[in-house]
Amino acid sequence: MKLLLLPYRTCLFIACVVVYLTVTIPAGRAANVNVACPGGGPGAFPSISAALNSLNPNDSNTISVSGACVENVFFANFERLLIIAAPGQSPTITAADPNGIVLQMFQSTGVTLIGLTFQGGSTGVLLNQGSNATISNCTFQGNSGDGLDMQMASTLVLENSTIQNNQGNGMSIGAGSNATMSTNPNERIRVLHNGGDGIDVDGSYFQVNFGVLDVENNGGAALVQSGGRLVVFADQSTGGGNLFQGNGEGIDIFNAASAHFFGRNVIRNNGDVGMQILGSSVRIDGNNGTLADGSLQIMVVQGHNTVGINAVRSAELTMHGPHQIQGNGSVGADPSLRGGIRVNRSSLTLNGTVQVNNNIGPGIRADQNSSTSVTNVTISGNSEEGLHFDRQSVGGFFAPFTISGNGTASISCDTTSLIFGELSGVGGMNCQRIERLAGPPRPGRVNP
């Protein structure tokens, strides 16, 4: 192999250029500046915007804020930016233009916001165009639209913060974004009294980690997941698990979304329905373990006017563990919808000591080509049937299980539906088509 060698003078010239560039081009420097709203002061800028204009976006920058700032803040292409409340201060940022966003970041990464309140704008904070931020101990309130939004593949970690009294949604996550809530067990996120949904996720990833998420008293649903992926952990928190309570609806999982719940999640008193699953896949896991406050690591769906869980349009729901679907339905609700769990053109699998108890209506209603499989469950105290099957639906029963003390029958079916499995110990069945071990299904009522 022939080696090509540069002449000595060429090498010397290149070496000199490298040394020159190394000496003359300064490295990025960290800048620490202060903001004292509204008027500034010695060594302090009068606004966050003025401070941002003085900084190199490529450096590591810290802005310490005090006072009541009135401005609409926008910044783009920043890296490693920290905006933090000055020690002992609780600064507010109120939109100067109420039709504008209080704070918007655009194509910025490594942004951290700590101890601030964002209020009085069309939106409190917007992460836009691939921005990446960690927000801690902040409040988003009193905005005419949403409290906190993110879009266009942005990434957020939200810790120990409150989103309240906004006229739109508490939080909206869209367009391929990624949001993680409460990364430590002792943290709490509160989403309260917003006019729209508490949390709205569209085609994005949303995860609740190890702390507590409280979503209460919002005008719309507690949480809507349309497409994308939802993962909710509640098995290590020190505050009693996640709570979705007093909202216009509970949790909606729509449009080919997938969701997985772990540990203690309480869905209670949210209008007509606790959880709706439309064309999506949901798995709910729990166990007999307890959290630090002694509460069981289970999902509780309780106190809804029409139905606890409504799974429709090719939905798939699997529940494993001693979850409780109880006290749902009402006398005045639509009798074709009310009850504990409704499955329509969908599939339901229950095992691991799930309890479907004391609902008004049937414990489980399966309709229009739906399939239901129950193993080691308890279905009792419901005002109508324990389980009811309509319009070519199928139910499979695998011991052990308990179906007792329900209003009109343990199991009932119309003439087109089929049940099978270990049914010898079940009393009060009213089904014509029962698959037996020998021979094809035969008509006839099976009496206890």
For the domain that residue 128 is a member of, what is the CATH number?
A: 2.160.20
Q: Which pLDDT belongs to residue 438?
A: 54
Mean pLDDT of 237-254: 93
Note whether residue 9 is domain-resident: no
Residue 80, pLDDT above cutoff 90? yes
Residue 16, pLDDT above cutoff 60? no
> How far is the C-alpha of 272 from the C-alpha of 333, rounded, in Å?
9
Q: Which pLDDT belongs to residue 1?
A: 34
Q: Which pLDDT belongs to residue 218?
A: 99
Residues 81-124 have pLDDT tens digits of 999 999 999 999 999 999 999 999 999 999 999 999 999 999 99
32: confidence class by pLDDT, cuts 50, 70, 90:
very high
Structurally, the chain folds into a number of domains equal to 1
Residues 38-52 have pLDDT tens digits of 999 999 999 999 999
How would you class 337 by CB atoms within 10 Å of its CB: exposed for 0-12, middle for 13-18, buried for 19 or more?
A: middle
Q: Which pLDDT belongs to residue 182?
A: 86
Q: Which pLDDT belongs to residue 293?
A: 83
445: confidence class by pLDDT, cuts 50, 70, 90:
low
Number of alpha carbons in the 13 Å side-chain half-sphere of residue 326: 15
> How far is the C-alpha of 158 from the C-alpha of 367, rounded, in Å?
41
Note whether residue 161 is domain-resident: yes
Residue 3, pLDDT above cutoff 50? no
Residue 395, pLDDT above cutoff 50? yes
Note whether residue 1 is domain-resident: no
Query: For the chain, what percent of residues have pLDDT higher than 90?
Result: 85
Query: For the chain, what percent of residues have pLDDT higher than 70?
Result: 91
5: confidence class by pLDDT, cuts 50, 70, 90:
very low
Q: Are 176 and 204 in contact (CB under 8 A)?
A: yes
Residue 437, pLDDT above cutoff 90? no
Note whether residue 37 is domain-resident: no
Q: Which pLDDT belongs to residue 444?
A: 53
182 vs 277: which has the higher pLDDT: 277
Q: Which pLDDT belongs to residue 19?
A: 36
Q: What are phi and psi of 206, to 5 degrees?
A: -135, 125
Note whether residue 317 is domain-resident: yes
Note whether residue 31 is domain-resident: no
Cβ–Cβ contacts within 10 Å for residue 53, how many?
A: 10
Tokens linked to 5: 């060698």
Q: Please tell me whether the peptide bond between 91 and the residue prior to it is cis, using omega within 30 degrees of 0.
A: no
Tokens linked to 395: 């139910």
Q: What is the pTM of this model?
A: 0.91
Residue 447, pLDDT above cutoff 70? no
Q: Which pLDDT belongs to residue 20?
A: 38
Range of 205's domain? 61-430
Note whether residue 373 is domain-resident: yes
Q: Are 425 and 407 in contact (CB under 8 A)?
A: no
Residues 302-333 have pLDDT tens digits of 999 999 999 999 999 999 999 999 999 999 99
Mean pLDDT over all residues of the chain? 92
Note whether residue 217 is domain-resident: yes
Q: Are 215 and 197 in contact (CB under 8 A)?
A: no
